[in-house]
Amino acid sequence: MTVTAPGHQKLTMAQTLNRALRDAMTADPAVVVFGEDVGALGGVFRITDGLTAEFGEDRCFDTPLAESGIVGVAVGMAMNGLRPVVEMQFDAFAYPAFEQIVSHVAKMRNRTRGRVALPMVIRVPYAGGIGGVEHHCDSSEAYYAHTPGLHVVAPANPADAYGLLRAAIASDDPVVFLEPKKLYWSKEEVELGAPVPGIGTAVVRREGTDATLIAYGPAVPVALEAAEVAAAEGRSLQVVDLRSIVPFDDETVCAAVRRTGRAVVVAEASGFASVSSEIVARVTERCFHALAAPIRRVTGFDIPYPPPKLEHFQLPGVDRVLDAVDDLQWEDR
């Protein structure tokens, strides 16, 4: 898959997501976008900015304020030949749609023996770090990742955001697309026209030899910063960006851990019964003999997401990551 305009441009994640929607709608008339405030306003984060003006109200429209209805209607539209991309306004506002997602979005293909596919994308602005009030900062990935039948992805930079969203829209399976809110305004040089990653592939974001940091979504920049600081202190940290939580790229992750023999998982979500615990279990099961130390985790605490003034205690920071790295039993080396 390639994007339309070639060349390098400095773009934010919000801009590349918008461009991905626009390019997908141009490429395929079956792609429709809807949700709360996605029309004239362009979404509360402006991800759908200009789509109604460009493609008309049949292709991008505001809906009543009812998330179960939004996802349920998308199921019917996907059953009947369209590729809906719906926006849940915030992570915690997606919960009314949970029954639709778990009982129908995830199961329709299976309960019709493959006859009815649901090519739909549920976009969820997610996680914290933006000083949001309650119900605006949840890391809800574990709920979706635990549900067979869903793909779950979380980009960590503008280029991947574009590529993963195009891949999600092109997928014949439903995708829960988690957009780290705090990265919406992160800017980087994006090579438009470059090949984009498929769903299900992790990537080594930074090479390193001493230990591996495994992260996804909003935790990736934290891991990269930690690796930068560690390098100045003489320790070489490798950083793996999962990009896709489901399907999980065991191969890339395990190969990375085998190279260093030490690992720390960094995630914003609460640690108990989480994606981070799954990662530790998977890597331990597969790489036990290559490990020089137990895998450590730096995650959110098991508390309701704190208010803005206290959220920095909840979010994994560079210091906590480096402390965890320090705990990887280097004395046994």
Residues with a catalytic annotation lie at 136
Site for another protein in 93-112 (CB under 8 A): 96, 99-100, 103-104, 108-112
In 127-226, where do the E strands start and end?
151-153, 175-180, 187-192, 203-206, 211-215
Whichever of 216 and 305 has its CB closer to another protein, that residue is: 216
Question: Looking at 7, 113, 232, 289, which residue binds another protein (CB under 8 A)?
Answer: 113
**Contact criterion met (CB below 8 Å) for 86 and 74:** yes
* CB 48 to another protein: min, Å: 18
Whichever of 72 and 308 has its CB closer to another protein, that residue is: 72
Whichever of 79 and 231 has its CB closer to another protein, that residue is: 79
Question: Looking at 250, 311, 323, 326, which residue binds another protein (CB under 8 A)?
Answer: 250
Question: Looking at 115, 195, 309, 332, which residue binds another protein (CB under 8 A)?
Answer: 115
Question: Looking at 228, 251, 319, 327, which residue binds another protein (CB under 8 A)?
Answer: 251
Amino acid identity at 144: Y
* CB 104 to another protein: min, Å: 6
Whichever of 200 and 306 has its CB closer to another protein, that residue is: 200
Distance CA 256, CA 213 (A): 9
* CB 41 to another protein: min, Å: 17
* CB 297 to another protein: min, Å: 21
Q: Is 27 in the site for another protein (CB under 8 A)?
A: no
Q: Which residues of 193-221 are buried (b: 16+ CB within 10 A; e: fewer)?
A: eeebbebbebbbbbebebbbbbbbbbbbb
* CB 226 to another protein: min, Å: 29
Angle between helices 275-287 and 250-260 (to 10 degrees): 60
Q: Is 69 in the site for another protein (CB under 8 A)?
A: yes
Q: Is 246 in the site for another protein (CB under 8 A)?
A: yes
Distance CA 109, CA 4 (A): 32
Q: Is 243 in the site for another protein (CB under 8 A)?
A: no
- Listing DSSP states for 85-144 in one string gives EEE-SSGGGGGGGHHIIIIIITTHHHHTTTSS----EEEEEE---S---TTS----HHHH
Structure token digits, residue 177: 């697309």
* CB 124 to another protein: min, Å: 18
97, 138, 275 from 106: Cα distances, Å: 12, 21, 18
Output helix, strand, coil percentages for the chain, rounded to the nearest 5.
Answer: 40, 20, 40
Segment interacting with another protein, rule: CB under 8 A, options 126-134, 146-154, 223-231, 296-304: 146-154
Structure token digits, residue 24: 């997908």
| Residue in the block written with tokens 């495994």 | 214
Q: Is 203 in the site for another protein (CB under 8 A)?
A: no
Site for another protein in 31-60 (CB under 8 A): 32, 58
Count of residues near another protein by CB under 8 A: 47
Segment interacting with another protein, rule: CB under 8 A, options 132-140, 202-210, 247-255, 266-274: 247-255
262 dihedral zone (left: phi>0; alpha: psi -120 to 50; beta):
beta
* CB 250 to another protein: min, Å: 6
Q: Give the side-chain half-sphere CA count within 13 A for 281.
A: 9
**Contact criterion met (CB below 8 Å) for 250 and 286:** yes
Whichever of 108 and 324 has its CB closer to another protein, that residue is: 108
Which positions lie near another protein, rule CB under 8 A? 32, 58, 63-64, 66, 68-69, 71-82, 84, 96, 99-100, 103-104, 108-117, 148-149, 151, 171-173, 200, 246-248, 250-251
